Amino acid sequence: MSLHGLRVGVTAGRKGAELVAALERRGARPTWGRTVGGDQPEPDEAIMAQTEAVLSAGPRWLAASTGVGMRLWAEVAERHGCLEDLRAVVHDARRVARGPKAVGGMQAVFDVRPEWVADLETDSEVAEHLLAVADTGDTVAVQLHGGPSRAYDALERAGLEVLPVLPYRSVLPDEAGPALTLVQRILDGEIDLLVFTSPGAAHNLLILARDLGPDVPARVREQVAAEVAVAAVGPVTAGACRQIGLGVTITPRRFRTGELLREIDRWTEHAGLAPEAQPRR
């Protein structure tokens, strides 16, 4: 399936090269402006302060978000001599997971499995499940991914105690130039489709856009709303797009990059786009 010269903005980090190559093979004209610099582990001191709160509380519930997050958490606990204490807490808690990677990390590191796994792999889904099954006053330890999540605020409003553990944070790229080029091309009407493969990529796009002027994030939102389709790899990323005011046109049923590309193919074919066409949302 050809993408007919579609002008695609790619925001992905280290895996962006693969996505760009796949788009080019389909006939698209991608602009790669990475808006994420990868996942950076938090300092041991910060993780241990959160870990000590978890060990002290002995939470009834544990929510795992990512496999890499569970592994990093365990590595820090091991370096500071409390891995076995953490393992005991994890074994004693009732466990839920945000998706299959979190399940794998939980099993590999702690040799346990969750009693429930979110179908859509979103924080909101995990929070809704915990609201349905946990009791007022329960303590919930939440291994976060990339940064704080407002989804779990609902638990605190319902009378549960939430203990966050943030093993790593999504950071801005070292070099902002390519991302700013992408922003300028959006403003100039030279992008037809904007592709996001992580929540951080969406949030960081508008953070970086401020480097071109305080009014630029609003101008990007306006241009995207008027002229640019948005593709998100899954519901978590789609939710991040909507949080910053970007409507989402394309989301695959399976949250993988290959399926995202196939969904873009289907969308292009359904829209009947001719070469050099500029699709509107």
Q: What is the CATH number of the domain that holds 103?
A: 3.40.50.10090
Domain C-terminal end among 170, 194, 215: 170
Give domain status of residue 277, yes or no.
no
Same structural domain, 185 and 140: no
Is 280 within the bounds of a domain? no
**Would residue 278 count as lying in a domain?**
no
The mean predicted confidence, pLDDT, of the chain is 92
Q: Which domain holds residue 207?
A: 7-38+173-271
Both 68 and 79 in one domain: the answer is: yes
Mean local confidence (pLDDT), 55-77: 97
pLDDT above 90 as % of the chain: 78
Q: Is 232 within the bounds of a domain?
A: yes
Structure tokens at 214: 């305080």
Total of domains in the chain: 2
- Please state, in angstroms and rounded to a whole number, the distance separating the CA atoms of residues 237 and 124: 12
More confident residue, 90 or 243: 90
123, 148, 170: which is the final residue of a domain?
A: 170
Question: Is residue 191 located within the same domain as residue 218?
Answer: yes
The answer on 30 and 115 residing in a single domain is: no
Residue 178, pLDDT > 70, answer: yes
67-79 as b/e: b if 16+ CB within 10 A? bbbbbbbbbbbee
* Confidence class for position 272, pLDDT limits 50, 70, 90: low
Confidence tier at 67 by pLDDT (50, 70, 90): very high
Question: Quick one: 145 and 105 in the same domain?
Answer: yes
Q: What is the pLDDT of residue 278?
A: 47
Are 54 and 150 within one domain?
A: yes
Same-domain check for residues 84 and 127: yes
Rounded percentage of the chain residues whose pLDDT exceeds 70: 96
Distances (CA, A) of 92 to 59, 95, 152: 9, 9, 22
| DSSP designation for 135 | P
Residue 151: pLDDT over 70: yes
Q: Are residues 185 and 245 in the same domain?
A: yes
119 and 206: one domain? no
Final residue belonging to a domain, choices 170, 203, 227: 170
- Whether residues 57 and 152 fall in one domain: yes
pLDDT, mean of residues 187-204: 94
Confidence of residue 2 (pLDDT cuts 50, 70, 90): confident
- For residue 150, pLDDT over 90 is answered with no
pLDDT at 1: 53
Q: How confident is the model at residue 39 (pLDDT cuts 50, 70, 90)?
A: confident
Please tell me what DSSP assigns to residue 188.
Answer: T
- Confidence band for 155, pLDDT divided at 50, 70 and 90: very high
